[in-house]
Amino acid sequence: MRAILIREHGEPESLKIEDIPTPAIGDDEVLIDVSAIGVNYPDLLVIGGQYQILPPRPFSPGKDAAGVVAAAGRSVTSCKPGDRVVAQVEYGAYAEQLVARGENCFVIPDAMSFTDAAAMGLVYQTAHFALMERGQFRPGETVLVNGGGGGVGLAAIQIARAFGATVLAGVREQVHAQLARESGADHIIDLGAENLHEEIRRQVHAVTNGRGADVVLDPLGGDAFDASMRAMAWRGRMVVIGFAAGRIPTIKANYLLVKNIAVSGLQWSDYRERDPAWVRRVQDELFALYEAGKLRPNVMRAFPMDRFAEALSLVKNGKVNGKVVLTTDSNHS
């Protein structure tokens, strides 16, 4: 099979596609003939050697992929050969075949394409856990989603809307504003405004009658994070998802006390490893919302696997509206 291998950490352009043997599976594992591969921001960190979990080299990056089960170990009960599945893994998805634990494989709805399944994978799970578990969202609350034009952002907007939130989307570009509205955002917060320190709070207060946001989901960090803390409602909850803006912010503990607010972090892969049954319950819920027409990933573009560097370049430069995916020769949808 062909796989994109990391032999030395560096830029995506330094990686090559190589022919390697088809991996063997254990009793609790599944071999998947991959059709579509999710491209995620953490992939860049893994390739660059900056991610918190880095397995021994050589290995393939990639955290989610969809395809058809080719073989299943004798202990696997979640799927069988011939099933269409999406798998969540720590690494290895940038390949024509993928080995995953059976407990991390999910049979996808008949109406769901492989590209949609791969595009939904990591980002929709992340958004759901951020909103419902770490953010402790309650129906009727107001949710501010920063990075509202990206994969996690659009997923969070759709999920929050499906659960009854008033959704504010923080974006910089007009195209992202339009995507956020199409995904269900009630109001747009301009993250490109001058004097962001004051502007986010002013904009949020203007559309919440001065109350602020009950939940803030932030995959950006940087100035948007700092300013969003000032726009939170009494007893508001902010969830740290990532630092796509580049700067990891710091928090003064006295500010949390004075404002009666909470800030928590989300490392979603911990849930996959510690409580896969919880992840499966969430995935079932996401599939049900998809079938009900309430969730729809925005796949900006599907690239052949050979053009992985081009796809990753778009992610690196913030040029992705929604998601990009990679496809293999076995892709059928």
CATH architecture designation of domain 2-121+287-327: Alpha-Beta Complex (3.90)
pLDDT exceeds 90 at position 263: yes
pLDDT band at 245 (very low <50, low <70, confident <90, very high): confident
**Of residues 121, 64, 129, the one with CA closest to residue 265:** 129
**% of the chain residues with pLDDT over 70:** 99
pLDDT band at 331 (very low <50, low <70, confident <90, very high): low
Average pLDDT over the chain reads: 95
pLDDT tens, residue by residue, 213-222: 999 999 999 9
Instruction: State how far the Cα of 2 lies from the Cα of 305, in Å rounded to an integer.
Output: 10
Instruction: State how far the Cα of 126 lies from the Cα of 308, in Å rounded to an integer.
Output: 23
pLDDT tens, residue by residue, 279-299: 999 999 999 999 999 999 999
Q: DSSP H helical segments within 141-275, as ranges?
A: 151-162, 174-182, 196-207, 222-229, 253-259, 268-274
2-121+287-327 shares its CATH topology with 138-266: no
- The domain ranges of the chain are 2-121+287-327, 138-266
Per-residue model confidence (pLDDT) at position 329: 81
H/E stretch holding 217:
strand 213-218
Averaged pLDDT, 241-270: 94
pLDDT tens, residue by residue, 96-112: 999 999 999 999 999 99
138-266 carries CATH number 1.10.760.10? no
DSSP classification of residue 8: S
The whole model's pTM is what?
0.94
Q: How distant, in Å, are the alpha carbons of 26, 38, 72, 159 from that of 265? A: 33, 23, 35, 19
Per-residue model confidence (pLDDT) at position 244: 86
Per-residue model confidence (pLDDT) at position 98: 97
- Decide: 217 and 135 in contact? Cβ < 8 Å: yes
The set of long-range contacts for 272-279, using a CB threshold of 8 Å and a minimum separation of 24, is: 272/88, 272/104, 276/101, 276/103, 276/104, 277/103, 279/88, 279/104, 279/125
pLDDT exceeds 70 at position 333: no
Tokens of 216: 């803030």
